Every structure is written in C-alpha cells, then in structure tokens.
C-alpha cells in the first residue's frame, strides 16, 4: 500500500510539473513552480513578521530612511504595484539582507559600511527584490518537493534489499541531489537576481556600475576564504563580477540618472 501511495504521489507530482512551467521576468528562463502564489505570499508574510518580532529595529533614523527611500524606488521600478512593499533596517552586525515573497525586505546594519551610499544599497536591494519578483522562494520549494519525491521512489525500488544499504544509497542520492541539482539551481537563481537587480536599479536611476563596485568590495572582505563554488549556494564573487560586467551594456539601456 505504501508503495502504491508513493507511486500515485509521484504521478500526481509529474502532472503538476507538466502544468507548472513558468517564465522568469526579463531573463525568460523557464521555471518549475508548483506552489500557488497566494500560499507563497502568506508564508512570506508570516516569516517576515516572525523575523521582526525576534529582531531589534535600528534607531538610526537617517539610515532607516535611506533603506526605505532607496527600496521604494527599486520597488517602483519592478512594476509590481500589487505587492505590499515593506523595508526595515535591523540592528545586527551580519553583512546581509533579504526579501521574502510579497516584497517584505529587511536590511541588516552590518551591510551598510559595505554599500557605502545610495547606489551601493540599490545594488543590494535590487538583488534581493528580484528574488521576490522572480518567485525564487516558490521555485526552491517546488524543486525540493521534486527531489523528495525522487528519493522516495528510490527507496521503494530498493525496498527488498538490506535496510542499511537502502539508507546509505538514499543518503548518497540526497547529497548528490543537493550538489548536482539544488545547489546549481540556487546559483542560477542568485545569478538571475544579480541580472534582474542590475536592470531594476538602472530603471530606478542608480548607476549599474555600483553593483560591480559592491562585489569588488565584497570579494576584498572575503579574503579568499570561501568553499568551492560547486559546493556553494552562491556564485563566487569573481564570477558575479564577470557576469555583472557582461550584463552592463544591457542595464545601461535602462539607465537615466536622477
């Protein structure tokens, strides 16, 4: 019965996969998304509220105003007026920022010395906002569901063999799925967010060259201490710099200084 249920679940997921092909904005990349957008937005809002409850918002009025002002310009450039955009600055030393589905954005104060000015901040926010616009969160959830179903099918196929061997093979396949599928998918999304973010910051009137400058500073900060790219969720800084330079002519077509 368990095998039959797994087979039925696999068939149902296959039908969903066939019907769930979407296209990323601007880049035209084909995407597999089986998570309904309303569910994605609800999950994003809940996660954002949880983060804000556990965090301390910055009391630096000028820095908070900068994050909101730059963020809203980037948001306007995306054309997604149906999103209820929010931008908050969180007091934390980590060099990071994120955007959850529906346009829920948080910036950590630790990244501000690296962004330095409005244009550098626009590069970060353009990247993060692009994750929401391209629905990367829903895409990752969909990819995870697909991999889990594949592993379950493998367990069924090996069910008559030694249980220890089944666990070992499944674990190895899980690692292979992570390195061979999920990590490259994640790097693809990160590169796509860089690409889209470059265009959105240009549309918002920020010089796209600031994105390259930002990643030069990020690379200098890392000091070369980084795991191999094929084991990482993000492209290497030098890869990002090269890609941004290649996309620069396209982004400049959208750029009008303000």
pLDDT band at 145 (very low <50, low <70, confident <90, very high): low
Above 70 in pLDDT, residue 84? Answer: yes
Mark whether 238 is an active-site residue. Answer: no
Looking at every residue in the chain, the average pLDDT score rounds to 80
Note whether 233 and 187 are within 8 A (CB).
yes
What is the domain extent for residue 112?
Answer: 2-252
Percent of the chain with pLDDT over 90: 50
More confident residue, 179 or 86: 86
pLDDT of res. 237: 86
Residue 229: predicted pLDDT: 41
For position 118, what pLDDT does the model report?
Answer: 98
Q: Which of 128, 139, 190, 192 is catalytic?
A: 128
DSSP letter assigned to residue 117: S
In a domain, 257, yes or no: no
- The answer as to whether 231 is a domain residue is yes
What is the predicted pLDDT for the residue at 232? 53
Q: How far apart are CA 21 and CA 182, in angstroms?
A: 18
Residue from 203, 243, 196 nearest 23 by CA: 196
Q: Residue 164: exposed, middle, or buried by beta-carbon count in 10 A (0-12, 13-18, 19+)?
A: exposed
pTM for the predicted model, two decimal places: 0.78
CA atoms of 43 and 37, how far apart (whole Å): 10
- Report if residue 43 sits inside a domain: yes
Question: What contacts 185, CB < 8 A, 6 or more positions away?
Answer: 139, 140, 143
Between 191 and 168, name the one with better pLDDT.
Answer: 191
The pLDDT confidence band at residue 151, using thresholds 50, 70 and 90, is: very low
Residue 13 lies in a domain: yes
Say whether pLDDT at 163 is over 80: no
204-238 residue pLDDT tens: 999 999 999 999 998 888 776 655 544 356 788 88
When divided into structural domains, the chain yields a total of 1
pLDDT above 90: residue 106: yes
Q: Is pLDDT of 166 > 50?
A: no
Q: Does residue 208 fall inside a structural domain?
A: yes
Per residue in 23-65, pLDDT (tens digit) is 899 999 988 877 789 988 998 899 999 899 999 999 999 999 9
Q: Hey, is 104 helix, strand or coil?
A: strand
Check residue 91 and report its DSSP letter. Answer: -
Residue 255: name the closest of 193, 192, 208 by CA. Answer: 208
| Residue 182: per-residue pLDDT | 40
Identify whether 258 is part of a domain: no
Lowest mean per-residue pLDDT among 8-22, 133-147, 244-258: 8-22
Instruction: Please give the Cα distance from 216 to 244 (Å, whole number).
Output: 11
Q: Can you give the three-state secondary structure of the chain, one letter per residue?
A: CHHHHHHHHHHHHHHHHHHCEEECCCCCCEEECCCCHHHHHHHHHHHHHHHHHHCCECCCHHHHHHHHHHHHHHHHHHCCCCCCCEEEEECCCCCCEEEECCCEEEEEHHHHHHHCCHHHHHHHHHHHHHHHHCCHHHHHHHHHHHHHHHHHHHHHHCCCCCHHHHHHHHHHHHHHHHHHHHHHHHHHHHHHHHHHHHHHHHHCCCCCHHHHHHHHHHHHHHCCCCCCHHHCCCCCHHHHHHHHHHHHHHHHCCCCCC
DSSP β-bridge partners for residue 88? 106
Place of tokens 């999920």: 182
């Amino acid at each position: 019965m368990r095998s039959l249920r797994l087979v039925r679940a696999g068939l149902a997921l296959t039908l969903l996969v066939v019907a769930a092909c979407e296209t990323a904005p601007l880049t035209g990349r084909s995407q597999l998304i089986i998570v309904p957008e309303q569910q994605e937005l609800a999950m994003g809002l809940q996660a954002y509220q949880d983060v804000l409850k556990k965090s301390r918002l910055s009391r630096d009025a000028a820095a908070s105003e900068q994050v909101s002002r730059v963020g809203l310009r980037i948001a306007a450039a995306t054309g997604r007026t149906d999103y209820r955009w929010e931008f908050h600055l969180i007091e934390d030393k980590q060099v990071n920022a994120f955007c959850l589905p529906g346009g829920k954005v948080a910036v950590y104060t630790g990244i501000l010395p690296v962004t330095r000015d409005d244009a550098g901040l626009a590069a970060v926010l353009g990247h993060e906002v692009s994750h929401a616009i391209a629905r990367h969160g829903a895409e990752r959830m969909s990819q995870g569901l697909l991999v889990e179903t594949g592993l379950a099918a493998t367990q069924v196929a090996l069910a008559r063999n030694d249980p220890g061997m089944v666990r070992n093979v499944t674990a190895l396949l899980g690692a292979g799925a992570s390195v061979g599928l999920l990590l490259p998918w994640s790097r693809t999304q990160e590169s796509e967010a860089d690409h889209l973010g470059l265009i959105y910051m240009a549309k918002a009137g920020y010089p796209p060259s600031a994105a390259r400058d930002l990643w030069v500073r990020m690379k200098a900060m890392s000091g070369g201490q980084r795991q191999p790219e094929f084991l990482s969720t993000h492209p290497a800084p030098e890869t990002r710099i090269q890609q941004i330079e290649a996309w620069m002519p396209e982004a400049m077509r959208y750029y009008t200084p303000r």
